[in-house]
């Protein structure tokens, strides 16, 4: 039917088609070979409208295609030198806490143009076999970055592993250390839930949380249970303070990072001596998931994996009350040491 249209109309359609094709080619050129992200989450009505100043936040976004090729081993040494890309040891590490929100924190910090994240947990300092491979092996596990960028890795097991503080101190005594915490009882139940899900996936049975958290013989809190022991934050932090001053730690509120992430991220930017670059534009609430998702620019959005935010099993209220009473004095000492108070029961 197109060829039966009047000549003027055909000309207009041709012009419009050319413009559309040009826009498409521009986007393709912008995207390049960027590393693949998870499916884009739907944006709800709370998403802030973007401005010219905000898009794109990552002024170095064009580098990501090259970084992807470097990770795959496809880039040449000449490309590496041309763009001054290097593999740097981390200048900041998220050392814990397991089920405190370490993955969410790492992904959100990666919104900042001066931050480059190690995608996988390296487990260098808490794994004797990996540690024996040496610091060069560790460096090779880091992403490529520009010299002025900060590399950050996260391995939550670092916080509770006895050998780790000394090992990190030997690498870099002035490193910045991030610890993200949640209300201790909630964190312990979340820890249990993750293990339970793994057992169920393998068709294995597992004890109820109450049986693990409470010693049947004494009816007291079972401190031998790892999920409980991990939530005694002050005990682990005191071991770290033998090597690092408290000023080198920043405590992140994991509960607040879920409900209102921007203020927490701004505090981390300040701690890392980074200019404030992450804005509300980069964080939008996904009503279906019940979590904030990330907006890197006009093209790329990202949500955390579907395994985040698991539904916790119902726990006997008397056991919850007993745990909260048990954690209370440890929490008070944690507030005193860190200078940060939380509204934990």
Structure confidence by residue, pLDDT tens digits, 114-132? 999 998 999 999 999 999 9
pLDDT band at 297 (very low <50, low <70, confident <90, very high): confident
User: β-strand 283-286 against 291-295: which pairing, if any?
Assistant: antiparallel
Backbone angle region of 308, left / alpha / beta, with phi > 0 → left and psi within -120 to 50 → alpha: beta
Strand partners, 285: 292
Please name each of the domains of the chain with its CATH number: 87-338 (3.40.50.300)
- pLDDT for res 131: 98
Determine whether the annotation assigns residue 100 to a binding site.
yes
Annotated binding-site residue? 292: yes
- 312 carries a ligand binding annotation: yes
Pinpoint the alpha helices (H) of the chain.
Answer: 7-31, 64-71, 77-82, 102-109, 128-132, 135-140, 164-171, 184-201, 209-213, 226-230, 233-240, 254-259, 261-271, 317-338
pLDDT at 302: 87
CA 296, 300, 304: angle at the middle one, nearest 5?
A: 80
- Confidence bin at 309 (pLDDT 50/70/90): low
The strand pair at 176-181 and 144-145 is best described as unpaired
From the candidates 4, 12, 63, 99, which is the catalytic residue? 99
Distance CA 196, CA 191 (A): 9
The reply, when asked if residue 308 is annotated as ligand binding, is: yes
Determine whether the annotation assigns residue 103 to a binding site: yes
Listing DSSP states for 134-203 in one string gives -HHHHHHTSPEE-TTSEEEEE-GGGGG-TTHHHHHHHH-TT-EEEEEE--HHHHHHHHHHHHHHHHHHTT
Consecutive H or E run containing 291: strand 291-295
99 annotated as a binding-site residue: yes
pLDDT at 81: 58
What are the φ/ψ torsions at residue 109 (nearest 5 degrees)?
-65, -30
Digit-coded pLDDT (tens) for 50-103: 333 332 334 444 444 555 445 444 556 556 555 689 999 999 999 999 999 999
From residue 271, how far is each of 14, 236, 240 by CA, in Å?
A: 55, 21, 18
Strands 115-117, 150-154: pairing kind: parallel
- Active-site residue, 99 included: yes
230 appears as a binding residue in the annotation: no
**For residue 331, is pLDDT > 70?**
yes
In this prediction, residue 308 has a pLDDT band, given cuts at 50, 70 and 90, of low
**How far apart, in whole angstroms, are the C-alpha atoms of residue 152 and residue 226?**
26
Question: What distances in angstroms separate CA 339 from CA 233, 247, 334, 335, one per listed residue?
Answer: 14, 10, 8, 5
Strand 249-253 relative to strand 176-181, pairing: parallel
Does 166 score more than 80 pLDDT? Answer: yes
CA distance 167 to 89: 14
205 marked ligand binding residue: no
161 is an annotated ligand-binding site residue: no
Instruction: Confirm or deny that 254 is annotated as ligand binding.
Output: no
- For residue 180, the model assigns a pLDDT of 98
pLDDT confidence band for 19 (50 / 70 / 90): very low
For residue 120, what are the contacts with CB-CB under 8 A and spacing of at least 6?
A: 141
Sign for the CA dihedral angle at 255, 292, 290, 45 comes to positive
The percentage of the chain sitting over the pLDDT mark of 90, rounded to a whole number, equals: 66
List, in order, residues 6 or more apart from 318 with CB less than 8 Å away. Answer: none
pLDDT in tens, 27-42: 433 433 333 333 333 3
User: Residue 17: pLDDT above 60?
Assistant: no
What's the mean pLDDT in 136-155? 96
Q: Is 36 one of the annotated binding-site residues?
A: no
Distances (CA, A) of 5 to 15, 16, 21, 93: 15, 15, 21, 64
304 is written with which tokens?
A: 């955390």
């Amino acid at each position: 039917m197109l060829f039966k249209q009047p000549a003027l109309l055909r000309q207009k359609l041709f012009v419009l088609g050319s413009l559309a094709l040009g826009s498409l080619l521009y986007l393709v050129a912008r995207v390049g070979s960027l590393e693949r992200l998870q499916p884009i989450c739907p944006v709800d009505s709370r998403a802030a409208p973007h401005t010219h100043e905000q898009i794109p936040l990552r002024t170095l976004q064009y580098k990501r295609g090259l970084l992807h090729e470097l990770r795959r081993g496809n880039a040449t040494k000449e490309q590496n030198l041309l763009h001054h890309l290097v593999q740097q040891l981390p200048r900041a590490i998220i050392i814990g806490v397991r089920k405190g929100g370490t993955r969410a924190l790492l992904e959100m910090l990666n919104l900042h143009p001066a931050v480059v994240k190690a995608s996988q947990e390296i487990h260098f300092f808490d794994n004797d076999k990996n540690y024996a491979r040496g610091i060069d092996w560790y460096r090779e596990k880091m992403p490529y970055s520009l010299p002025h960028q900060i590399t950050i890795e996260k391995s939550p097991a670092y916080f509770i592993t006895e050998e780790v503080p000394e090992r990190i101190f030997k690498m870099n005594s002035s490193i910045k250390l991030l610890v993200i915490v949640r209300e201790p009882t909630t964190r312990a139940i979340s820890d249990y839930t993750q293990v339970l899900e793994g057992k169920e996936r393998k068709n294995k049975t597992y004890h109820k949380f109450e049986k693990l958290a409470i010693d049947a013989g004494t009816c007291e809190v079972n401190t031998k249970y790892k999920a409980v022991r991990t939530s005694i934050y002050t005990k682990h932090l005191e071991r770290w303070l033998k090597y690092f001053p408290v000023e080198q730690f920043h405590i992140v509120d994991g509960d607040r990072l879920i409900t209102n992430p921007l203020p927490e991220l701004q505090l981390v930017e300040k701690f890392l001596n980074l200019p404030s670059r992450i804005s509300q534009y980069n964080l939008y609430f996904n009503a279906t998931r019940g979590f904030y998702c990330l907006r890197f620019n006009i093209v790329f959005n990202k949500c955390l994996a579907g395994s985040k935010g698991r539904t916790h099993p119902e726990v006997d209220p008397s056991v919850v009350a007993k745990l909260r009473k048990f954690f209370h004095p440890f929490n008070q000492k944690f507030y005193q040491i860190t200078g940060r108070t939380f509204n934990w029961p």
